[in-house]
Amino acid sequence: MKEALLWEPADGQKVVCRLCAHECVIFPGLTGICRVRQNDGGRLFSRVYGHAVSANVDPIEKKPLFHFLPGSRSMSIATAGCNFTCDHCQNWEISQMLRIKNRVAGQYLPPEEVVAEARRHQAASISYTYTEPTVFFEYALDIAQLASASGIRNVFVTNGFMSARALETIGPDLHAANVDLKAFTDDFYKKVCGARLEPVKETIARMWAAGIWVEVTTLLIPGYNDDEAELEALAAWLAGISPDIPWHVSRFHPTFRLTEAPLTPRNRIDRARAIGRAAGIRYVYSGNVRGDEGEKTVCHHCGAGLVDRFGFVVAANRLRDGACPDCQTPVAGRWR
């Protein structure tokens, strides 16, 4: 195990973890809610450092990031573990591995090798994804610092429950993030995810203020988080942070412990997108609906088609120096 960052000693060899908003008080021999960080004799250690449970090269659109180096490759890395317990987790076999099996799996892949693999595959970025990158923070930080020095960008695909200290620590080497805004009620977060809403909102605002490129995803679950009043409140809040933050409204597929809810109807995705646009969000996308018009980027000023996508594939990109070629309106994003 590797000694963890962002913790403080407490009485009786307890420790207080300051990595995420749970701020677990951990007794000797035990772990925090994430099951990843363990108190060993009054010191906090990571159980997963260097143990890559998944390592792939993906299109950046899969994260999903539509306004960050479109068409580029992203080396994607994960360890086991998560600080949420979402009933609908699509990667529950690895995110909940430590809860279900209490074991750490994965191939040992040191940070230097991750960066070398990214270079070998000509990846423009490294994405910390599939599970929750906050819980393998020490590993992600060491990789990110090496990647930055090599001219490779770093991306978090995250639930956004990290502490302000964690974001400040990795912020200089974090270039983009897709944050899951899973719902806009605390009740949903508590019942479905084992967490709270407000820290996620704070992270989105902090990231944007820090100059990190942010896109937000909401998985629309019928009967759980698709109430129109809730979506209107979410969209208004997000537009208040910035109308330039892209919002991905994704289709739900029954999985893990949440199998009684149906597949999201297409018209509910369309309605949510309309709510986002009415709130002033300039770029609202459909997710998990391959071939939908909502996968395309259009100019918010003149309506011209700019980036044509089919699933995770960029079929055409008409942007010129980050602007619409028809009316020269700048399009928010990181295009080079």
User: Could you please report the per-residue DSSP string of 17-73?
Assistant: E-SBTT--EE-TT-B-TTSSEEEETTEEEES-TTEESEEEEEEGGGTT-SSBSTT-E
The DSSP bridge pattern shows strands 15-17 and 7-9 to be antiparallel
- Cα dihedral 59, 159, 162, 188, rounded to 10, equals 170
Q: Which one, of 142, 84, 83, 138, lies nearest residue 113 by Cα? A: 142
Tokens linked to 37:
């960080």
Q: Report if pTM > 0.95.
A: yes
CATH for 51-286?
3.20.20.70
pLDDT mean across residues, the chain? 97
Looking at the predicted structure, is the pLDDT value of residue 187 above 90?
A: yes
Give the mean pLDDT of 202-225: 98
Residue 19's pLDDT band (cuts 50, 70, 90): very high
Q: How far is Cα 270 from Cα 69, in angstroms, rounded to an integer?
A: 26
What is the percentage of the chain residues whose pLDDT exceeds 90?
99
Residue 336's pLDDT band (cuts 50, 70, 90): confident
Q: Which one, of 9, 1, 102, lies nearest residue 45 by Cα? A: 1
For the chain, which residues make up each domain, given as ranges? 2-46, 51-286, 296-330
pLDDT for residue 114: 98
The DSSP bridge pattern shows strands 43-46 and 37-40 to be antiparallel
Tens digits of per-residue pLDDT, 241-287?
999 999 999 999 999 999 999 999 999 999 999 999 999 999 999 99
Q: Are the C-beta atoms of 30 and 59 separated by less than 8 Å?
A: no
Tens digits of per-residue pLDDT, 142-168?
999 999 999 999 999 999 999 999 999
Tokens linked to 289:
């609906």
Q: Are the C-beta atoms of 128 and 136 separated by less than 8 Å?
A: yes
Tens digits of per-residue pLDDT, 89-128?
999 999 999 999 998 999 999 999 999 999 999 999 999 9
